[in-house]
A and B are shown apart, each in its own frame.
Chain A
Amino acid sequence: MRFKSLAIFLIISSFFLTCILSIWKIMATLQGLSFTNLNVTPIFLIGILLSLAFVLIGNKINHLIKIFSLSFIFSILYFYLDEASPYWYILGVFLITLFFTNKLKKYSIQSLKEDFISEKIIFDFITLFGIVFFTFVILFPFYIMLVTSFKTQIALLVNPLDFSLDFTKSLTELFKSYFVIFETYNFGRYILISSVVSIGTVIVTLLFAIPAAYAVARLNFFGKNFLSTSILIIYMFPAIVLVIPLYTVFSQLGLRNSIFGLLIVYTATTLPVAIYMLQGYFKSIPKEIEDAGIMDGQNWFGIILKIIIPLSLPAIASVALYVFMIAWNEFLFSLMFLDSPKSFTLSRAIQYLSGDAETPRQYLMAGSVIVTLPVLFIFIYFEKYLVSGLTAGSVKE
Chain B
Amino acid sequence: MSDSLSKLEKRTAYTLVLPAVLLVFAIVLFPIFANVWISFKDIELKDIRIPEPRAKKIVKSISENQSELKIIYKLRNSSLIQEIRNVQFQDKLPTNVSPINLDPRCNFQSKKIICNFGNWQAKYRENFEIIIQSNNGEIIDKKIIKSQKPILSGKADNPLLTTNFTLENFKKVFYENNFVELLLTTFYFTFFGTVGAIIFGILAAQLVNQNIQGRTYMRGILLFPYVGPVVALAYTWTLLLDPNSGTLNALLVNFNIIEQPINLLGQKYITMSILGFEFKLRLALTTVIFFEIWRYFPLAFLFILARLQAIPQSLYEAAEVDGASPIQKFIHITLPQITAIISILFMIRFIWNFNKFEDIFLLTGGASGTRTLPINVYQQGFAVSDIGMGSAVSIVIVMLLLSFMIIYFRLIGKRANEV
Q: CB within 8 Å of B: which residues of A?
A: 26, 29-30, 35-38, 115-116, 119-120, 123, 127, 130-131, 134-135, 137-139, 141-142, 144-145, 148, 156-157, 160-161, 208-209, 211-212, 214-216, 219-222, 224, 227, 233-234, 236-249, 251-252, 264-265, 267-269, 271-272, 275, 300, 325, 328-329, 331-332, 335-336, 346-347, 350-351, 354, 361, 364-365, 367-369, 371-372, 375-376, 379-380, 383, 386-387, 390-391, 394-395, 397
Contacts and interface: CB of A to CB of B under 8 A. Distances in A.
Contact of A116 (B206, B325, B401): B325
Contacts of A26: 251
A264 B27 contact: yes
23 contacts: A26-B251, A141-B237, A157-B245, A160-B245, A160-B247, A161-B247, A211-B15, A212-B19, A220-B6, A237-B398, A238-B397, A239-B357, A243-B377, A244-B38, A244-B390, A247-B381, A249-B34, A252-B50, A328-B229, A329-B229, A331-B231, A390-B226, A394-B348
A187 to B, nearest CB: 13
B266 interface: no
A368 to B, nearest CB: 3
B250 A138 contact: no
Nearest to A221: B13
B204 interface: yes
B28 A227 contact: no
Contacts of A35: 254-255
Contacts of B210: 127
Nearest to A142: B224
Interface in B208-259: 210, 212, 218-233, 235-237, 239-240, 245-247, 250-251, 254-256
Contact of A237 (B233, B236, B327, B401): B401
Given A160-B246, A211-B17, 10 more contacts: A30-B247, A36-B254, A237-B401, A239-B355, A244-B31, A245-B32, A249-B31, A328-B229, A390-B299, A391-B306
Interface in B4-63: 6, 9-10, 12-17, 19-21, 23-24, 26-32, 34-35, 38, 48-50
B160 interface: yes
Nearest to B330: A123
A300 B8 CA distance: 11
A174 to B, nearest CB: 20
A160 B221 contact: no
A236 B353 CA distance: 11
A208 B20 contact: yes
Contact of A380 (B17, B26, B220, B250): B220
Contact of B221 (A139, A346, A375, A397): A139
Interface of B: 6, 9-10, 12-17, 19-21, 23-24, 26-32, 34-35, 38, 48-50, 158, 160, 203-204, 206-207, 210, 212, 218-233, 235-237, 239-240, 245-247, 250-251, 254-256, 294, 299, 302-303, 306, 323, 325-327, 348, 351-352, 354-355, 357-358, 361-362, 374, 377-378, 381-382, 387, 390-391, 394, 397-398, 401, 405
Given A216-B17, A233-B405, A331-B230, A134 B207 contact: yes
A37 B251 CA distance: 11
Contacts of B23: 208, 264, 267-268, 271
Contact of B227 (A130, A157, A212, A375): A375
A141 B31 contact: no
Given A236-B351, A238-B352, A269-B28, A244 B381 contact: yes
A224 B158 CA distance: 37
A64 B282 CA distance: 52
Contacts of A328: 229
* Most interface-central of A30, A245, A269 (chain B CB within 10 A): A245
B20 A36 contact: no
Contacts of A346: 229
Shortest 4 CB-CB distances between A and B: which pairs? A238-B355, A268-B27, A368-B232, A245-B34
A380 to B, nearest CB: 6
A323 to B, nearest CB: 13
Contacts of A219: 9-10, 12-13, 16
A245 B219 CA distance: 40
A233 to B, nearest CB: 7
Contact of B35 (A241, A380, A383, A386): A241
Contact of B302 (A36, A350, A387): A387
A354 B27 contact: no
Given A238-B374, A246-B31, A36 B255 contact: yes
Contacts of A209: 20
B227 A37 contact: no
Contact of A244 (B302, B306, B387): B387
Nearest to A368: B232
Contacts of B38: 244-245, 248
A338 B30 CA distance: 21
B203 to A, nearest CB: 6
B21 A212 contact: yes
B303 A394 contact: yes
B27 A240 contact: no
Contacts of B48: 248, 251-252
A199 to B, nearest CB: 16
A392 to B, nearest CB: 11
B390 to A, nearest CB: 5
A248 B16 contact: no
Nearest to B372: A240
B24 A268 contact: yes
Nearest to A264: B27
Nearest to B250: A160
A137 B294 contact: yes
Given A240-B355, A331-B230, A376-B228, A214 B24 contact: no
Contact of A221 (B10, B325, B405): B10
Given A211-B16, A214-B16, A364-B235, A37 B255 contact: yes
A365 B236 contact: yes
B29 to A, nearest CB: 7
Contacts of B14: 221
A297 to B, nearest CB: 14
A272 B398 CA distance: 19
A272 to B, nearest CB: 6
Contacts of A227: 17, 21
Contacts of A248: 34, 38, 48, 160, 387
